[in-house]
């Protein structure tokens, strides 16, 4: 789950001096749920004519005879149904995926463990803390306002992790995190390069 997709995090500012740090991250489920409901309503409106045609064909022998006598028209109806199913099915799948997605992060014993959950399935990976390049403060604009973040930067961009967020972070908040993790502070611009070019 990308840091930009995280809407809530527990705890939002972990105690990095603790021997084990556990973080749970969730996407914006309310917004996603509303989008999914709206898309399902649109899908129901667009697909209802096809549903009526199919039910009529199943119930009426005359409709089936007309369909078999005019294969081109039947093929056009089926092509239209397939078009809408593909067009609407993919975004519905993506919204369902976002709605069920969560991420758990654990930092302990010099290692970082990550577990991503979606549709009841879990994918996980872990890496030594020394594999990360450093911690980059980042300012992100969201639908609810601006938030300050701390990103644990990995050379592989998709493995960079959001580890803290707050309405405002001062340097006095960042320094204890760097000391606890034994990493240096990186400029925010390294995030756009996926960590490439950053120095340890």
Q: Helix axis angle, 71-100 relative to 29-59, nearest 10°?
A: 150
* Tens-digit pLDDT profile for residues 137-187: 999 887 767 899 999 999 999 999 999 999 999 999 999 999 999 999 999
Q: Please tell me the predicted confidence (pLDDT) of residue 141.
A: 84
Q: How far apart are CA 127 and CA 191, in angstroms?
A: 19
CB of 159 closer than 8 Å to CB of 133: no
Q: Please tell me the predicted confidence (pLDDT) of residue 193.
A: 64
| Token pair recorded at residue 93 | 């799948």
Entry pTM: 0.70
Q: In what order do the strands lie in the sheet with 20-27?
A: 6-10, 20-27, 102-108, 111-118, 121-128
Q: Please tell me the predicted confidence (pLDDT) of residue 197.
A: 47
| Token pair recorded at residue 73 | 């028209």
Q: Please tell me the predicted confidence (pLDDT) of residue 185.
A: 96
Opening angle at CA 8, ends 17 and 131, nearest 5: 45
Q: Give the SS3 label for residue 16.
A: coil
Low-confidence ranges of the chain (pLDDT < 50): 197-200
Q: How far apart are CA 131 and CA 151, in angstroms?
A: 14
| Token pair recorded at residue 10 | 């527990």
Return the domain boundaries, the chain: 1-200
Q: Please tell me the predicted confidence (pLDDT) of residue 200.
A: 41
């Amino acid at each position: 789950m990308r840091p930009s997709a995280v809407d809530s995090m527990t705890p939002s500012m972990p105690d990095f001096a603790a021997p084990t740090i556990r973080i749970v991250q969730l996407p914006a489920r309310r917004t996603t749920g509303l989008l999914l409901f709206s898309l399902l309503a649109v899908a129901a409106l667009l697909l209802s004519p096809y549903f009526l045609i199919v039910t009529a064909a199943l119930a009426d022998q005359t409709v089936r005879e007309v369909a078999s006598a005019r294969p081109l028209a039947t093929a056009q109806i089926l092509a239209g149904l397939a078009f809408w199913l593909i067009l609407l099915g993919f975004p519905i799948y993506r919204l369902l995926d976002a709605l069920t997605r969560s991420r758990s992060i654990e930092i302990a014993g010099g290692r970082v463990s990550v577990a991503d959950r979606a549709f009841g399935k879990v994918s996980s990976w872990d890496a030594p803390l020394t594999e990360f390049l450093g911690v980059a403060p980042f300012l992100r604009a969201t639908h609810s306002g601006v938030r300050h973040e701390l990103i644990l930067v990995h050379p592989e961009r998709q493995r960079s992790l959001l580890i803290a967020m707050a309405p405002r972070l001062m340097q006095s908040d960042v320094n204890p995190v760097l000391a606890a993790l034994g990493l240096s502070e990186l400029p925010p611009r390294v995030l756009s390069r996926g960590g490439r070019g950053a120095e340890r």
